[in-house]
Structure 1
Amino acid sequence: MIKGTLRIVFTGEDLARVRVAGRADMMWEMALSLHILQRPGGARALSGWRRQARADLAEAGLLKPVRERLVPLVPLKAYFPDFLTPYESLSGFRQGLDVLADTPSARVRHEVDRLRPYVPVPATLDDLARGNRRSIRDLARLGERYCQVAFGSRRTAMEDALGRERARLTRLLTDQGVDAMLAGLGPSTRWRPPVLEADYATGRYEIHLQGRGLTLIPSYFGRFTPVAMADPSLPPVLVFPIQHEMPDAVPDDALPDLLGATRARVLRCIAATDGCTTSELARRTGASLSSASAHAQVLQRAGLIASTRHANMVIHQLTRLGGDLIHRQQ
């Protein structure tokens, strides 16, 4: 049940400093995926991932340490420590892990203490709660291993889905302006200038940006409501859930056998958007720019997509023939 409201108050300067994260923020995905991992019901779109992740973690010998040391830090409550999701992780997973490993002991102690009113902190976190340096570094290593194992089977789908959402927001910003982008964040948010209002887990929480701007971070594992940093003095971010349009269980797919795995991914990426550039295709599929361009040219010659040049960009769109081919595989 949604119990609260988040209000983010903008100035004119803040509107000029809204940005969309340029990549998946793996530290936020780690934290929010732990909610999915421990949720007994709900999140139907990710139930298949939850089953697979538990099996993969068990096989890797990580299920117990994850349950004892990571899950208690990210309870299904109103708070989890900000040090788990450092702002620097926007520059890459490795940077985020390094900052987590170097978190000052005093900050760790303070934020774990802040967790105590919501849930009991288990004895397995006693050393961490005291700010023990080795325990902090061990937590960062455990987070890295968790992401490697738990996200392994879903990494391509994550990148594709988040790439589509980033492209959608960027297109809104370019074509219609920042107001349209803020108004289009999803059903749980409402843009009422100069305030962005969002459903929140509990309570009323207000952030005044005061010229600092706001970074929008789409999340694959975020569910239901957006999330912000608990400490309003930290760099402002809004992490919001994307819409999961594809079913969690994908049926047998003959498309890769027909077109090849990468070309099939390129076709499906184009099908999932109103149109995307060659650069967007490369980013979402993990192909090089030249490879994405070559695959798009083949798909165009086959009549499965249409490619149109706009200035220095080529926009690729699905044709009816391409749509019919994908539909027959579903």
Structure 2
Amino acid sequence: MRGVVSGLRLEMLRALLGDRRYIPEFLMPAPERMDTRFADEVALVRSTPEGEVRAQLDLLRGSGALPGALVALYEDPERQLGRLAAEVQAYWQAAVEPVWSRLAGVVDAEVGHRADQLTSGGIVRVLGNLHPDLEYDEDALRILWPTWESRNRLDGAGLLLVPCVFAWPSLLVDTSPRRPALIYGPRGVGQVWDSSARASAPPVADLLGRSRAALLATLDLPLSTTQVARDLGLSAASVSEHLSVLRRSGLVASRRSGRQVLYQRTALGTDLLGGASTIR
């Protein structure tokens, strides 16, 4: 994406992300619910109170001078937040939206995995293997960073877990009293770019048909009917029909996530793809 992004005007966004130690919280507002849309998050950035913008910019610059690209934002947050939102929107359309179905698939798989862990082992199991920099013991969550010291009590505020493909292998911590959050890399992050399973689909087409074979290969991550239809260039009605056949055959499983139903290849479906050459 570097060639595409290099032509965008992202001065303010680059300046806000220039310090590896701190990212202003208003740039990544915590989602209100799981089915939050990108447009909702951009609207939250645009509506950040002026006092919060200035306070977080003060944290960003520390004892030094504020980067020149952020001076106008500091002096007139209400007007400049619109420009910042436009930069975020432009970056999203150029670099993220084209691969969003794959990113969302990894995140949805992670949410399902953590939900299963919570059901079977409680919060101890969920936090016990979330990230190597975390240690959970006796109702205390320790962040194992030798150069950072901070003590916070949740006091009923809860803890928001945010799986993020771009966070790997780092851990990001938001200690905001309103919505404390841990932002971490989800399991299977390498699957975002791994097309080996999908590349093995054509031999199976003799058995399943080309469309169903391509659909089965695509579902290494949980995706909705709409996402699959867009990725494969098929109609939603056609995809829905193929999914019904694959699910009855035990090759695909489904589960509900918020307002949508997600489909993912089962172990049997993966075995079928892996054994394509033998079957043929």
Give the TM-score category using the shorter length.
0.7 to 0.9
Is 1:299 the counterpart of 2:246 in the alignment?
A: yes
**For residues 322 and 119 of structure 1, do their structure 2 counterparts lie closer, same or farther at Cα, with a shift above 3 Å needed?**
farther
Structure 2: tracts of 5 or more residues without a match? 230-234, 256-262
Percent sequence identity is 23
Whether 2:259 is the aligned partner of 1:317: answer: no
1:87-140 CA-to-partner distances (Å, cap 9, x unmatched) read 246533222211211212222112111111287532122100213422111101
**Aligned counterparts of 1:307 and 1:167: Cα–Cα separation in 2:** 13
Deviation (angstroms), 1:262 = 7.5
- 2:134 matches 1:189: yes
Match of 1:229 among 151, 155, 174: 174
CA distance in 2, matches of 1:197, 1:218: 19
Equivalent pairs, count: 257
Shift of residue 283 of structure 1?
A: 7.3
Q: Residue in 2 aligned with 1:158?
A: 103
The aligned residue for residue 75 of structure 2 is 130
- Is 2:164 aligned against 1:214? no
Q: Assess, with a 3 A threshold, how the Cα gap between structure 1 residues 265 and 101 changes in structure 2: closer, same or farther.
A: same
TM-fit CA distance, 1:80: 1.6
The 3 A distance-change label for structure 1 pair 325 and 75 is: farther
Pick the aligned partner of 2:57 from 98, 112, 122.
112
Letter in 1 for 2:42: L
Query: Quick check: 2:157–2:177 contact (8 Å CA) kept in 1?
Result: no
Q: Say which of 257, 279, 282 aligns to 2:224.
A: 282
Letter in 1 for 2:273: G
Match of 2:5 among 37, 51, 57: 57
Q: What's the CA shift for 1:317?
A: 2.2
What amino acid sits opposite 2:17 in the alignment? Answer: V
- CA RMSD of superposed structures (Å): 3.7
**SS in structure 1 opposite 2:183?**
strand
Q: Which residue of 2 aligns with 1:69?
A: 12
2:200–2:217 contact (8 Å) kept in structure 1 = no
Alpha carbons 2:53, 2:74 under 8 Å: kept: yes
Greater relative contact order structure (CA < 8 Å, 6+ sep): 1
Q: Give the direction of change, closer, same or farther, for the CA distance of 1:247–1:136 in structure 2 (3 Å limit).
A: closer
Give the Å deviation of 1:191: 2.1
Contact kept in structure 2, 1:199 and 1:225, CA below 8 Å? no
Unaligned runs of at least 5 residues, structure 1: 1-51, 273-279
